[in-house]
Amino acid sequence: MPDRPNPHHPLPFRLNALQLTGSIALGVWLGFLAIALTCWLVSALFFKEQLAPVAAAVEQLAKPPVVIEPPRPDIPAQSPIFEQYEENLRKSEQQVRMDQARGSSRNLSNPKCQFWLQQDQTAPSEKSRANVLQFCD
């Protein structure tokens, strides 16, 4: 059997662990890349007609619709009397809501509401009013 190599003869090359790991990782990466490229080419060649409506829908979704705003008529600036009226109306509505919050029996069991009602009563501020309206019914 002269054709068989000597089993005790050492291999002519050596690989360390880092080279072996790198080679395997490179092979796996290139294999994945080859499979992905093949799938992309097959889908581009064979399914182009079938995927055309889907591609058009995706393209339409990607572009936001153009909204054309109608030209606004020139509105004169609000008169100071009207602005004062709106401010007074807002304050009176807020006062009505505050009075309802203070008079509601359901708010007696709500500790956060009680705290902010007390804060608003002792040191009224915009923050305390906003928190009363937030935490009280």
Q: Would residue 43 count as lying in a domain? A: yes
Query: Which one-letter amino acid corresponds to residue 91?
Result: K
* Confidence (pLDDT) at 38: 95
Identify the residue with better confidence: 102 or 17. 17
Rg (CA), the chain: 39
- % of the chain surpassing 70 pLDDT: 86
Structure-model confidence comparison of residues 66 and 123, the more confident one: 123
Smallest CA-to-CA distance from 132 within 112, 109, 108 is with: 112
Number of domains in the chain: 2
Q: Which residue has tokens 């097959």?
A: 42
Any domain includes 25:
yes
Of 9, 44, 62, which residue sits at a domain end? 62
pLDDT higher than 60, residue 113: yes
Closest CA to 99 of 120, 84, 76, 78: 120
Tens digits of residue pLDDT in 28-82: 999 999 999 999 898 888 777 777 777 788 888 788 777 777 776 666 667 888 8
pLDDT digits (tens, 9 = 90+) for 38-48: 998 988 887 77
The 3-state DSSP class for residue 66 equals: coil
Q: What is the pTM of this model?
A: 0.37
Give rounded-to-5 percent helix, strand, coil for the chain.
Answer: 70, 0, 30
* Any domain includes 2: no
Task: Let me know if residue 110 belongs to a domain.
Answer: yes
Query: Is 70 inside a domain boundary?
Result: no
In this structure, is residue 103 part of a structural domain?
yes
- Whether residue 28 lies inside any domain: the answer is yes
Residue of higher predicted confidence among 11 and 114 = 114
Q: Does 113 reside within a domain? A: yes
Q: Write out the residue range of the structural domain in which residue 58 sits.
A: 17-62
